[in-house]
Structure 1
Amino acid sequence: MVSLKNKVECIEKEEIIKALMKCEWVKIRAAKYLGITERMIGYKIKKYSINKEGENRL
């Protein structure tokens, strides 16, 4: 059984990746697009191990 927390984290990660792709991987623009701070998006990128290359792309 998947917990609600895991579902929310999965959706959050997907939305961050989409925003980064839309904003050409410019963190400050993606953060503004999502309505969060640049510091917060940096934290989330590190938390979810998001990178420009690799399996994290949608």
Structure 2
Amino acid sequence: MDNVINGAILDNFANLLSNVHQFPLVKTVSVSVHRIPYPKITFAYHLGHVLLDKFLFLKAA
């Protein structure tokens, strides 16, 4: 269940990142992200996997 929830959170975060250039809150978001008490490498790894899964799914569709 945790993986499903984390996947959904990362999915939303990926969507936020792809839309973030449209908003004047980029600095605020960047500062907030840096304060997340989560190992950045692990976070990037998980985010990368979510994006890769999305890409492979879209490619296969």
Q: Which TM-score tier does this pair reach, normalised by the shorter chain?
A: 0.3 to 0.5
Higher relative contact order structure (alpha carbons within 8 Å, sequence separation ≥ 6)? 2
Higher helix share: 2
Larger Rg: 2
With normalisation by structure 2, the TM-score equals 0.46
With normalisation by structure 1, the TM-score equals 0.48
